[in-house]
């Protein structure tokens, strides 16, 4: 098999592909076409019939498959062993992973095993003039975007959050399916998954919400936060947060928007007390309509906002809430999913 390919880890659970693998394939295809390389999707698990065709339709030239009952559900050490062996045998130039809980555990482990580098949470990937991969990562508190290179070691490895890249439209494409050797010593040693427990979704999922009311450090405390929750309820939306708001305990980890959190593309995003650092903006900048409330007229979030409200949110939100409530009660506007 050809060496120096661009590999994408096609994460799957229970035979269902994670969308981030398809998004990474879209970017890998773009890079491969520019550099005249080929793209391989790497698929590990058990009973994976049908998935290879989908990966080819989304841009893979080759699908490398390892099937074994020890590979379903995911377990760190067997996955690392199969991938490390495949990398040593086929010497990919680039290996991309989704920054999912699985990818964030597996990719660094594999990078260490192969003695190569890994750029985590990239927001873009491109080649420089020498054909080295530039792994674009927000750095220094989000104020700059750093280009990370890995010139001396291979593969060049990166993780990207789900939702940051766009998958390409599926096309009728065919390719080769190649079986990977499942390492003999797959004895299941090390940590093992005994049971999978799925937590029931209690709230409207943030990534799918049409309205997102997001709060930051400027909200200042739980009391202000409940104002945001009320506004989100009236608008039939979900509450998002910046990292400081999560660190303070006002919001849960899964509500964080940005480079290390979720990517949202709602029809309406309302940002309250959020400065607009790149780490956050990368997760909300594709929202259809952005309203930003900040008391600092120079706040960077205003650069991506359609409506700018300069002022103290504690003076702005209560009358806004009352006005919206009155309109809702008088039937002047309706919210999907709410009967009154
Ligand atoms: C590796 C790494 C990954 C990161 N990932 C993420 C991520 O995924 N998501 C994320 O959000 N952050 C992330 N961060 C943190 C990020 O860099 C910023 O620090 C963070 O987004 C800033 O949050 P903020 O806007 O809430 O706070 P601040 O930057 O402190 O801004 C608070 C804003 O509130 C305004 N304000 C204060 N009081 C009021 C008031 N009464 N009314 C109106 N406005 C008011 C202020 O003018 C200010 O603009 C990451 C950082 C690192 C290093």
Q: Which residue stretches of the chain are H helix? A: 19-35, 51-57, 76-90, 101-114, 222-234, 243-247, 278-281, 313-329
Kindly give the number of the ligand 1 atom that is closest to the alpha carbon of 216. Answer: 26
* CB 243, CB 279: distance < 8 Å: yes
Ligand 1 centre distance from Cα of residue 229 (Å): 18
The reported pLDDT for the residue numbered 339 is 40
Encoding tokens for residue 238?
Answer: 């979900």
Sequence-distant (≥ 6) Cβ neighbours of residue 108 within 8 angstroms: 118, 120
The reported pLDDT for the residue numbered 205 is 79
Distance (Å, whole) CA 46 – CA 87:
20
* CB 44, CB 71: distance < 8 Å: yes
Encoding tokens for residue 261?
Answer: 């959190």
Domains parsed from the chain with CATH numbers: 6-179 (3.40.50.620), 206-329 (3.40.50.1220)
The reported pLDDT for the residue numbered 87 is 98
Q: Which residues form ligand 1's pocket by a CB distance below 6 Å?
A: 141-142, 216-218, 242-245, 256-261, 273-275, 277, 279-280, 293-296, 299, 312-314
Encoding tokens for residue 259?
Answer: 């480079």
CA proximity to 161, closest of 129, 188, 136: 136
Distance (Å, whole) CA 83 – CA 98:
15
CA proximity to 51, closest of 97, 81, 24, 18: 18
The reported pLDDT for the residue numbered 204 is 65
Distance (Å, whole) CA 120 – CA 96:
10
pLDDT one digit per residue (tens) for the chain, 340 residues: 889 999 999 999 889 899 899 999 999 999 999 999 999 999 999 999 889 999 999 999 999 999 998 899 998 999 999 999 999 999 999 999 999 999 999 999 999 999 999 999 999 999 999 999 999 998 776 678 899 999 999 999 999 988 888 888 888 888 999 999 887 666 656 777 788 887 765 566 788 899 999 999 999 999 999 999 999 999 989 999 999 999 999 999 899 999 888 999 999 999 999 999 999 999 999 999 999 999 999 999 999 999 999 999 999 999 999 998 888 777 666 555 444 3
Helix (H) or strand (E) holding 99: none
Distance of CA 261 to the CA centre of its chain: 7
Which residue's CA lies nearest to atom 4 of ligand 1? 279
Ligand 1 centre distance from Cα of residue 238 (Å): 19
Distances (CA, A) of 197 to 24, 174, 193, 194, 201: 28, 37, 11, 10, 12
Encoding tokens for residue 71?
Answer: 């590979």
Ligand 1 centre distance from Cα of residue 215 (Å): 9
Ligand 1 centre distance from Cα of residue 262 (Å): 15
Tell how strand 133-139 and strand 144-148 pair up: antiparallel
Give the number of residues written for the chain.
340
Beta-sheet strands, E only, within the chain: 6-9, 12-13, 16-17, 39-45, 62-67, 94-98, 118-122, 124-127, 133-139, 144-148, 156-160, 176-179, 211-215, 238-241, 268-272, 290-294, 307-310
The reported pLDDT for the residue numbered 200 is 67
């Amino acid at each position: 098999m050809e060496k120096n390919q661009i590999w994408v880890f096609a994460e799957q659970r229970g035979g269902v592909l994670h969308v981030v693998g398809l998004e990474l394939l879209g970017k890998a295809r773009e890079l491969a076409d520019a550099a005249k390389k080929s793209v391989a999707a790497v698929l590990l698990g058990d009973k994976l019939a049908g998935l290879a065709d989908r990966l080819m339709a989304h841009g893979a030239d080759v699908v490398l498959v390892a099937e074994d009952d020890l590979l379903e559900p995911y377990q760190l050490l067997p996955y690392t062993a199969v991938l490390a062996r495949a990398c040593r045998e086929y010497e990919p130039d680039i290996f991309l992973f989704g920054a999912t809980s699985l990818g964030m555990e597996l990719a660094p482990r594999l990078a260490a095993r192969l003695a190569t580098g890994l750029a985590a949470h990239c927001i873009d990937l491109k080649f420089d003039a020498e054909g080295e991969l530039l792994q674009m990562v927000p750095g220094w508190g989000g104020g700059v975007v750093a280009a990370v290179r890995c010139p001396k070691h291979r593969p060049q490895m990166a993780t990207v959050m789900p939702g940051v890249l766009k998958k390409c439209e599926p096309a009728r494409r065919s390719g080769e399916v190649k079986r990977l050797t499942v390492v003999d010593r797959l004895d299941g040693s090390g940590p093992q998954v005994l049971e999978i427990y799925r937590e029931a979704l209690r709230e409207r999922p943030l990534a799918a919400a049409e309205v997102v009311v997001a709060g930051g450090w400027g909200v200042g405390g739980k009391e202000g936060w409940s104002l945001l929750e009320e506004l989100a309820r009236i608008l039939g939306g979900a509450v998002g947060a910046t990292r400081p708001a999560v660190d303070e305990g006002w919001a849960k980890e899964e509500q964080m928007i940005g480079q290390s959190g979720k990517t949202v593309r709602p029809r309406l995003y309302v940002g309250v007390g959020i400065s607009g650092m790149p780490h956050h903006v990368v997760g909300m900048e594709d929202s259809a309509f952005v309203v930003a409330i900040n008391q600092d007229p120079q706040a960077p979030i205003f650069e991506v906002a359609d409506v700018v409200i300069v002022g103290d949110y504690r003076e702005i939100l209560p009358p806004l809430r009352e006005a919206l409530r009155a309109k809702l009660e008088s039937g002047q506007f309706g919210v999907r999913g709410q009967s009154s």
